């Protein structure tokens, strides 16, 4: 292994001077700087991360935290984010929480032990007060989710408006009894703008209200994540005495499960049951019933959050950003 002192020796200077050129300290004469640069090149020297970390200098690394990478929404989000981080010469650490608080805390802990300069959370598992405590150790930015707090930057989609428009679209097709699926265990009502899930739900309710419709709680389905959850939900729907004529599925996976099981049961899509997805996954348009779905601004979101965080790292005094991006309904065959 070639170390800083090897470089110093070859360049005929002290290690301190080498360290100065590594860290862009101005107090080095151009000749020595060049000599050192040459030596570094000749030896193929790269500073050892561990040693730098130990002294508490920057790591030029960002941790990107997602629930699970097999979800295309998150894999595309990570992809976009990583490309921006790369571009700026930083490194990326992809971390999966699998929905567990402990894993999210481990990721945040990387700030404390100086393994990363910043963390991008693409979901929130812990209480936000707990998360905020880590701001002492480094920068944090939140992407996709949001809470009512100005201390960290948040870039997210306008869930309220997206779901409202999607629901309105269903209503415009003459649907009147619309079911609603959510990934969470239940709906926790919040004022508008403070929380991802409740915003979606508020958007849904809002669209109904405009048509003076009220929501039948029998049509609320929770814990909906996978294709199989979708299938399960359709089975539950079939047992209802007054079944819905449309469903806001909450994700393309769930929508796919619902549609596939509905077809199997002989229901006409979208006449007897219209199904609205969310995300617009790459394959959504190639499905048996190409999904009508609400596209999330993944690229813009990833781009923006990475840029904002990197900027905060470079200029620590920058004040935090909060940006809301539009979702877009993509009409196809399922609704």
Residues found near DNA in the complex (CB under 7 A): 1, 3-5, 12-20, 22-23, 26-29, 31-32, 46-48, 51-52, 54-57
Task: Give whichever of 241 and 286 is closer to its own copies, judged by the CB atom.
Answer: 286
CB atoms within 10 A of CB 204: 23
Kindly tell me the sign of the dihedral angle through the C-alpha atoms of 202, 303, 150, 142.
positive
Is 330 a residue that touches its own copies (CB under 8 A)? no
- x/- binding map, residues 86-125, to its own copies, per CB under 8 A? -------xx-x------------x--xxxx----------
Encoded tokens for 29: 């004469």
Place of tokens 């619902």: 258
> Where are any strands of DSSP class E within 17-88?
61-66
Task: Give whichever of 44 and 266 is closer to DNA, judged by the CB atom.
Answer: 44
Largest CA distance in the chain: 87
Is 335 a residue that touches its own copies (CB under 8 A)? no
Given 102, 209, 283, 326, the residue binding its own copies (CB under 8 A): 283
Task: Give whichever of 89 and 266 is closer to DNA, judged by the CB atom.
Answer: 89
Given 124, 152, 224, 227, the residue binding its own copies (CB under 8 A): 227
**CB distance 65 to 122 below 8 Å:** yes
Min dist. Cβ of residue 34 to DNA (A): 11
Kindly tell me the sign of the dihedral angle through the C-alpha atoms of 12, 16, 21, 26.
negative
**CB distance 51 to 109 below 8 Å:** no
Q: What's the Cα-to-Cα distance from 162 to each of 158, 202, 242, rounded to whole Å?
A: 6, 11, 27
Task: Give whichever of 10 and 234 is closer to DNA, judged by the CB atom.
Answer: 10
**CB distance 32 to 74 below 8 Å:** no
Min dist. Cβ of residue 82 to its own copies (A): 6
Min dist. Cβ of residue 94 to DNA (A): 25
Residues of this chain that bind its own copies (CB under 8 A): 1, 46, 48-51, 53-54, 68-70, 72, 75-76, 78-79, 82, 93-94, 96, 109, 112-115, 227, 253, 256, 259-260, 281-283, 286-288, 290
């Amino acid at each position: 292994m070639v170390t800083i002192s090897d470089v110093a020796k070859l360049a005929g200077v002290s290690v301190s001077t080498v360290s100065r050129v590594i860290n862009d300290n101005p107090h080095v004469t151009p000749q020595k700087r060049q000599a050192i640069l040459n030596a570094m090149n000749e030896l193929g020297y790269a500073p050892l991360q561990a040693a730098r970390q130990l002294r508490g200098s920057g790591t030029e690394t960002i941790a990107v935290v997602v629930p699970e990478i097999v979800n295309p929404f998150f894999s595309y989000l990570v992809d976009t984010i990583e490309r921006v981080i790369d571009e700026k010469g930083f490194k990326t650490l992809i971390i999966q929480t699998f929905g567990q608080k402990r894993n999210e805390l481990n990721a945040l802990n990387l700030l404390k032990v100086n393994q990363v300069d910043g963390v991008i959370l693409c979901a929130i598992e812990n209480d936000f007060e707990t998360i905020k405590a880590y701001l002492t150790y480094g920068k944090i930015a939140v992407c996709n989710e949001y809470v009512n707090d100005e201390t960290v930057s948040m870039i997210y989609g306008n869930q309220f408006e997206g779901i409202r428009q999607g629901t309105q679209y269903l209503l415009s097709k003459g649907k009147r009894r619309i079911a609603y699926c959510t990934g969470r265990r239940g709906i926790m009502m919040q004022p508008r703008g403070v929380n991802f899930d409740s915003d979606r739900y508020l958007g849904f309710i809002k669209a109904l209200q405009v048509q003076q419709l009220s929501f039948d709680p029998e049509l609320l389905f929770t814990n909906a994540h996978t294709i199989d959850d979708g299938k399960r939900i359709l089975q539950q729907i079939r047992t209802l005495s007054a079944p819905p004529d449309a469903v806001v599925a909450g994700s393309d996976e769930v929508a796919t499960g619902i549609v596939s099981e509905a077809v199997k049961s002989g229901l006409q899509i979208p006449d007897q049951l219209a199904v609205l997805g969310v995300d617009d996954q790459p394959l959504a348009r190639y499905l048996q019933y190409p999904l009508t779905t609400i596209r999330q601004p993944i690229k813009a979101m990833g781009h923006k959050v990475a840029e904002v965080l990197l900027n905060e790292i470079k200029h620590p005094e920058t004040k935090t950003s909060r940006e809301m991006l539009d979702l877009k309904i993509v009409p196809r065959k399922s609704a």
